[in-house]
Amino acid sequence: MIDFQLTEQQTELRDRTVAFVRDELIPLEHTGEPTRVDDEFRRELVALGHAAGLVAPHAPIEWGGLGLDHVSMSEVFIAAGYSLLGPLAMNCFAPDEGNMNLLSKVATREQNERWLRPLVAGEIRSCFAMTEPAPGAGSDPRAMQTTVARDGDEFVVNGTKWLITGADGAGFAIIMAREADDDSGRRATMLLADMDTPGITIEREIATLDRSFPGGHPVVRFDDVRIPATDVLGEPGRGFEYAQVRLAPARLTHCMRWLGAAIRAHDIATAHARERQAFGKTLVDHEGVGFMLADNEIDIQQCRLAIWHTAWLLDQGEAAGRESSMTKVLCSEATDRIVDRCQQVLGGLGFTHETAVGQIATEIRAFRIYDGPSEVHRWSIARQLGRR
């Protein structure tokens, strides 16, 4: 029966998260020029998260998380995203959050004891090594150039990945490589490897527009990296299938976190618009400003409903590929619009780091690109329409 009422537990957890972010994290936010978060600061944040009992809301209880289902995660992640520090303190940022999800579903118990447990606890970070520079796998994973070949009890990986978020300082990587002897482009394998495995090199950092992802987005080279067969994730050749397992939920948590950030920007802009006077009245009383804030309200509402709905589908055990594509397009484009309007409402202030809006505006843009650019999702939705 259609119902939009949060349970008491959901409400309690959300409110606790809201208070945690407001009281403990926002005061720690950097002012002025943003700097990339380093791991020392990240560990301090995680310690606060542990003290608040809010670490890894998405991860299974047995591995140290709160074991929330997707609907329950929704409001918690939105509240976490209200500060760019929230997902760090609660250890539910990308790519680690998606990696935890993937491991908990595919990895062996031994693998999880080794990698998942400390990851959930925030002791280490991880990266997901899939994207490649041209002519490799960008939006089109079938173009993957990195190969893996079996050699006895080992798998040997060769190739170059880039824009590997979090790689610098990560404890381990989930590596995606296509089978060297497969020409179909359909067989890829996922492997787990500590980042200090011989042959793994961080070739260089790539300067990007964001600051909030610890470990940056480097180029990572794999030169004859030898990985024991026991460290293959799941079964060889099923990598694309596992990528799908990871993808829809990971996409959705991005939507949640960025919606939180957009709401933050909206609150800042609204407060400004209620205060600042121009041309004889308060900004918010200018329709040109008020309409922008009204559109923000509509967009925020829509993002929330779409997130809830897709989360609910996932909780029903559905793949929700189509819905998560639609929600990803909607949320990435709507939150970008929201923050853009906030900058405009703030005027000159919107182009500074005097408020959190400056950094949010800079960082949120990329969400229209990663986890599938809008164009790839639209194409995928259209293709399904064409086939039905």
Nearest distance, CB of residue 261 and a second copy, angstroms: 16
Nearest distance, CB of residue 8 and a second copy, angstroms: 10
Part of the chain binding a second copy (CB under 8 A), chosen from 118-126, 133-141, 223-231, 252-260: 133-141
194 interacts with a second copy by CB under 8 A: no
CA distances from 74 to 252, 259, 262, 312, 345 (A): 9, 10, 15, 10, 28
- Say which amino acid occupies 199: G
Phi, psi of 284 (to 5 degrees): -60, -20
196 interacts with a second copy by CB under 8 A: no
Which C-beta is closer to a second copy: that of 55 or that of 256?
256
Which one among 27, 152, 288, 317 touches a second copy, defined by CB under 8 A? Answer: 288
What's the CA angle centered on 127, arms 316 and 197, to 5 degrees?
A: 130
Which C-beta is closer to a second copy: that of 19 or that of 298?
298
Part of the chain binding a second copy (CB under 8 A), chosen from 110-118, 170-178, 226-234, 270-278: 270-278
State the DSSP code for 199: T
Distance CA(272)–CA(75), nearest Å, equals: 25
Distance CA(276)–CA(282), nearest Å, equals: 6
SS3 state of residue 283: helix
State the DSSP code for 238: B
Residues in binding contact with a second copy, number by CB under 8 A: 90
Nearest distance, CB of residue 246 and a second copy, angstroms: 18
Other beta carbons within 10 Å of 105: 13
245 interacts with a second copy by CB under 8 A: no
Which one among 308, 338, 356, 360 touches a second copy, defined by CB under 8 A? Answer: 308
Written as six digits, the tokens of 70 are: 């997707």
Which one among 73, 107, 289, 356 touches a second copy, defined by CB under 8 A? Answer: 289
Find the helix or strand (DSSP H, E) in which 39 lies.
helix 39-52
CA distances from 69 to 10, 40, 79, 322 (A): 10, 30, 16, 20
140 interacts with a second copy by CB under 8 A: yes
Nearest distance, CB of residue 122 and a second copy, angstroms: 26
Biggest CA-to-CA distance, the chain: 79
Query: Per-residue string for binding with a second copy, 325-364, x by CB under 8 A?
Result: -x--xx---------x--xx--xx-xxxxx---x--xx--
| C-alpha distance across the termini of the chain, in Å | 28
SS3 state of residue 224: strand
317 interacts with a second copy by CB under 8 A: no
Nearest to 201 by CA among 263, 155, 157: 157
129 interacts with a second copy by CB under 8 A: no
Which C-beta is closer to a second copy: that of 45 or that of 306?
306
Which residues, listed in sequence order, are joined to residue 141 by a DSSP beta bridge? none
Written as six digits, the tokens of 67 are: 């074991």
306 interacts with a second copy by CB under 8 A: yes
Q: For residues 18-47, which are near a second copy according to CB under 8 A? A: 32-33
Which one among 18, 56, 71, 177 touches a second copy, defined by CB under 8 A? Answer: 71
Spell out the residues 6+ positions from residue 347 whose beta carbon is closer than 8 angstroms to its own: none
Handedness of CA 205, 210, 214, 220 (dihedral sign): negative
Which C-beta is closer to a second copy: that of 298 or that of 319?
298
Query: Per-residue string for binding with a second copy, 141-160, x by CB under 8 A?
Result: -xx-----------------
368 interacts with a second copy by CB under 8 A: yes
Which one among 16, 114, 226, 309 touches a second copy, defined by CB under 8 A? Answer: 309
Nearest distance, CB of residue 133 and a second copy, angstroms: 9
Part of the chain binding a second copy (CB under 8 A), chosen from 59-67, 94-102, 248-256, 378-386: 378-386
Which C-beta is closer to a second copy: that of 56 or that of 334?
334
Distance CA(273)–CA(22), nearest Å, equals: 21
290 interacts with a second copy by CB under 8 A: yes
278 interacts with a second copy by CB under 8 A: yes
Which C-beta is closer to a second copy: that of 2 or that of 109?
2
Q: Which residue has the tokens 């890894």?
A: 56
Which C-beta is closer to a second copy: that of 47 or that of 382?
382
